[in-house]
């Protein structure tokens, strides 16, 4: 076990080193009173475990631990401090243990054994995942779920863990300041409690990805969070199709299939609404252009109009175009079905009757039948 010790007191550094060496199986690879220098040396010294003090002047141990975990998620943090009041926060940043000064040899031995067991499990899991490619796919249109590379649905410990993933996923890898994350996910909670919730949720999200073979999935740099893992999604595929110059039948069919419902429709997330509305409008504008093409086939025109009315069910223009299509095709069955559906929607939802021009078209068709 390769240990690096960080404490602002030289005596504490020496005491910790002596006690660790007495246990055996532990190599102290570095001792630092300056946290900034220590941070630079973690990777160089290939440290596996950090013995970390809490109150060190220029930076608090909890802050330093979060930075370390964001850059080196495989490194274990073990706090050694004279301050018992930070124990809860310590475990929220994924510390493996919390020891109080002066160190008790038996207590230290138990902490080292627990840490070694976790390092062994990490090495074993690393060997397993080295033989397979880790990939994730998010379905975001309508219902949401995340698939791992075995096509298994990832399970979430809490709704907030899932929401944090979705919030960071929506930003497409662009770092988001922690204050914005707290404001959007915990808007009605005092900032102190929001910070605690944030740390706990980030920890749980990191843990979820770690269990699925992905290290350092959540990055934390300069008070900003970002996804450190690439996740493909139907949302990304849809945006690519909408922005593509090529608009052949196969692409249009794919868009119709992908857009089965609004973006994150079933998640009820207020911060997702602007993206939801923008994407909905983009799809409608795209389909409006498609149905004006002279060479569009009748089956594709029908599919487009049905989808447009499904997305914007109160749009009278879409209603009339679809009724007109069935009238021209002399498809009485579909005309009657859609006409009655439109009538029920307008009457039940808006309390209004079918517009006269639609009623006239329908009645004229029935007379000519």
The CATH number given to whatever domain includes residue 44 is: 3.40.50.2300
- d(Cα 202, Cα 92) in Å, to the nearest integer? 9
For residue 18, CA distances in Å to 12, 15, 67, 98 come to 10, 5, 27, 19
Instruction: Based on the fold, state whether residues 274 and 339 are members of the same structural domain.
Output: no
Beta bridge partners of 80: 99
pLDDT value at position 31?
94
Q: Which two tokens stand for residue 355?
A: 């517009």
pLDDT value at position 44?
82
pLDDT above 90: residue 369: no
Least confident of 64-68, 175-179, 271-275, 338-342: 64-68
The CATH number given to whatever domain includes residue 181 is: 1.10.10.10
- Of 93, 96, 28, the C-alpha closest to 60 is 93
Instruction: Based on the fold, state whether residues 137 and 275 are members of the same structural domain.
Output: yes
Last-in-domain residue among 108, 129, 150? 129
Q: φ and ψ at 98, to 5 degrees?
A: -140, 105
- 24 or 288, greater pLDDT: 288
Instruction: Based on the fold, state whether residues 107 and 189 are members of the same structural domain.
Output: no
Is the separation of the CB atoms in 83 and 54 below 8 Å? yes
Determine if the peptide bond prior to 102 is cis (ω within 30°): yes
pLDDT tens for 170-195 read: 998 899 999 999 999 999 999 989 99
Mean pLDDT of 54-67: 86
- What's the domain range around 250? 133-311
Per-residue pLDDT band at 126 (split at 50, 70, 90): low
Mean pLDDT of 270-297: 95
For residue 43, CA distances in Å to 17, 51, 73, 121, 232 come to 20, 15, 12, 20, 30
Helices within the chain (DSSP H only): 10-23, 35-41, 61-71, 87-92, 105-129, 159-170, 178-185, 191-211, 234-243, 249-258, 273-290, 298-311, 316-328, 332-345, 356-368
Least confident of 21-35, 125-139, 305-319: 125-139
- Kindly tell me the burial class for residue 356, based on how many C-beta atoms sit within 10 Å of its own C-beta (0-12, 13-18, 19 or more): exposed
pLDDT above 90: residue 367: no
pLDDT above 80: residue 47: yes
Mean pLDDT of 289-293: 94
Beta bridge partners of 98: 79
Residue written as tokens 């959540």?
218
pTM of the model: 0.66
Instruction: Based on the fold, state whether residues 208 and 86 are members of the same structural domain.
Output: no
pLDDT above 50: residue 131: no
Last-in-domain residue among 311, 331, 347? 311
Instruction: Based on the fold, state whether residues 112 and 255 are members of the same structural domain.
Output: no
Instruction: Based on the fold, state whether residues 179 and 249 are members of the same structural domain.
Output: yes
Q: φ and ψ at 352, to 5 degrees?
A: -125, 165
Is the separation of the CB atoms in 29 and 47 below 8 Å? yes
C-beta neighbour count of 246 within 10 angstroms = 7
Q: What is the dihedral of CA 238, 239, 240, 243, to 10 degrees?
A: 120
Q: φ and ψ at 52, to 5 degrees?
A: -130, 135
Instruction: Based on the fold, state whether residues 100 and 33 are members of the same structural domain.
Output: yes
pLDDT value at position 262?
96
Write the CB contacts of 169 (distance below 8 Å, at least 6 apart in sequence).
Answer: 138, 140, 227, 231, 233
pLDDT tens for 242-255 read: 998 888 899 999 99
Last-in-domain residue among 89, 111, 129? 129
Instruction: Based on the fold, state whether residues 161 and 37 are members of the same structural domain.
Output: no
Per-residue pLDDT band at 70 (split at 50, 70, 90): confident
The total of structural domains in the chain comes to 3
Per-residue pLDDT band at 345 (split at 50, 70, 90): very high
Rounded mean pLDDT of the chain? 90
- Strands 76-81 and 97-100 turn out to be parallel
Q: What is the largest CA-CA distance in the chain?
A: 100
Per-residue pLDDT band at 130 (split at 50, 70, 90): very low
pLDDT above 60: residue 366: yes
pLDDT value at position 132?
47
- Taking the chain, what is the end-to-end CA distance rounded to the nearest angstrom? 86
DSSP letters spanning 309-367:
HHHSTT-HHHHHHHHHHHHHTT-HHHHHHHHHHHHHHIIIII--PPPHHHHHHHHHHHH
């Amino acid at each position: 076990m390769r240990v690096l010790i960080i404490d602002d007191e030289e005596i504490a550094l020496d005491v910790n080193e002596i006690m660790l060496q007495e246990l055996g199986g532990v190599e102290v690879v570095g001792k630092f009173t300056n946290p900034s220098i220590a941070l630079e040396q973690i990777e160089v010294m290939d440290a596996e475990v950090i013995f970390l003090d809490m109150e060190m002047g220029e930076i608090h141990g909890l802050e330093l631990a979060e930075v370390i975990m964001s850059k080196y998620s495989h490194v274990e943090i073990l706090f050694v401090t004279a301050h018992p009041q930070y124990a809860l926060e310590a475990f929220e940043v994924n510390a493996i243990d919390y020891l109080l000064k002066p160190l008790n040899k038996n207590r230290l031995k138990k902490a080292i054994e627990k840490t070694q067991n976790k390092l062994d499990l990490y090495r074993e899991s690393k060997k397993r995942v080295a033989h397979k490619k880790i990939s994730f796919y998010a379905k975001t249109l309508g219902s949401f779920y995340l698939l791992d590379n075995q096509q298994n649905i990832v399970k979430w410990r809490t709704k907030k863990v899932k929401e944090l993933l979705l919030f960071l996923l929506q930003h497409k890898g662009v770092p988001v300041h922690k204050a914005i994350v707290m404001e959007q996910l915990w808007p009605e909670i005092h900032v102190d409690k929001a910070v605690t919730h944030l740390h706990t949720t980030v920890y749980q999200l990191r843990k979820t990805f770690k269990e699925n073979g992905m290290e350092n999935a959540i990055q934390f740099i300069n008070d900003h969070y970002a996804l450190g893992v690439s996740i493909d999604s139907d949302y990304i595929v849809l945006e690519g199709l909408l922005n593509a110059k090529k608009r052949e039948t196969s692409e249009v069919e794919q868009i119709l299939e992908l857009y089965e419902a609004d973006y994150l429709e079933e998640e009820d997330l207020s911060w997702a609404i602007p993206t939801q509305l923008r994407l909905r409008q983009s799809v409608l504008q795209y389909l409006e252009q498609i149905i004006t093409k002279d060479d569009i086939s009748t089956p594709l025109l029908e599919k487009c109009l049905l989808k447009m009315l499904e997305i914007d069910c109160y749009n009278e223009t879409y209603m009339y175009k679809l009724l007109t299509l069935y009238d021209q095709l002399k498809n009485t069955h579909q005309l009657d079905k859609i006409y009655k559906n439109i009538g029920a929607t307008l009457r039940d939802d808006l309390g209004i009757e079918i517009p006269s021009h639609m009623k006239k078209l329908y009645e004229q068709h029935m007379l000519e039948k």
